[in-house]
Every structure is written in structure tokens, then in C-alpha cells.
Amino acid sequence: MTYMSNLVEKELSYRIVGALFDVYNNLGGGYQEKYYQRAVSKEFKNRNIKFEEQIIIPLSFKGNSIGKYFLDFLIEDKIVLEIKAANKFYIRDIKQVLAYLKATNKSLGILANFNRNNLQFKRILKGD
């Protein structure tokens, strides 16, 4: 079996990344994160990709609420998508997605960074 055939949620990931590139190719770089998020939402609708956005995920400790997370996107109840608009990926961004995966009990997250020069994306698996 090859590496590519073992990818988690391969087809859905390709559809998501395709939508992200379409947004970047049409908007370009240099905008605030919120504008990319709005454009991604519209593109997902255009492509009939089912998603929820700005989902509140409660965080608790021994049955007591200690805070909450806000997910940018949960796609088809399978993949967490976090949008950034920064110069590069930071380790804190990867840790943020890993925390979201743990809190939602999902296996795969995609971190997308719309920067001035290009679109970067990283697939993040829980346990990596």
C-alpha cells in the first residue's frame, strides 16, 4: 500500500484544499483572516461542501467548565479547518489545531495560511 492511499479523508481533503486555492487565486494575499474566512464559507457553499463555522466547543475539567474554543470550520463533521493570515505557520497554530482535534475527538485538521505571497496548508493528524 502506498502512502497516498493511506491518507485520512483523502477525497474530502482534496475538495477542501481546492476550495482554499480558489479563494486565494481570486483574492490574492494581504487581507485580514476574517475576509478569507468569509470567502472560504462562500466557496464551500458553491461547492456543496457541508460545514459549520465559528463553532463553540466547551472545555471542561472534571465536569466543570474552564473555557471554550471557537473552531473556524468543522467540515462534514470530520475535518477541523483553521484559517490564518500570517507570514508563516507558527508552532502555536499547530498546537491550537491539535487541541481542537482533542476537544472534538476528530482525527484530522487542516491549517491554512493565507499570506501575502501564497497559500500554505498543513494536514495535522491527532497524535502527530
Which amino acid is residue 19, in one-letter code?
Answer: A
Q: Please count the other Cβ atoms lying within 10 Å of the Cβ belonging to residue 118.
A: 10
Spatial neighbors of 24 by CB under 8 A, at least 6 apart, are 114, 118, 119
Asked whether the predicted pLDDT for residue 103 surpasses 60, the reply is yes
Please work out, in degrees rounded to the nearest 5, the angle formed at the alpha carbon of residue 72 by the alpha carbons of 98 and 99.
15
Residue 6 confidence (pLDDT) above 80? no
State the amino acid at position 112 in one-letter form: A
Q: Would you state the cell numbers that stand for residue 103, as one nine-digit string?
A: 476537544
Domains and CATH numbers, the chain: 8-125 (3.90.320.10)
pLDDT band for position 101 (cuts 50, 70, 90):
very high
Regarding pTM above 0.75, the answer is yes
Average pLDDT rounded to a whole number, residues 22-45: 96
Cell of 25: 487565486
- Which sign, positive or negative, has the C-alpha torsion 32, 67, 61, 55? negative
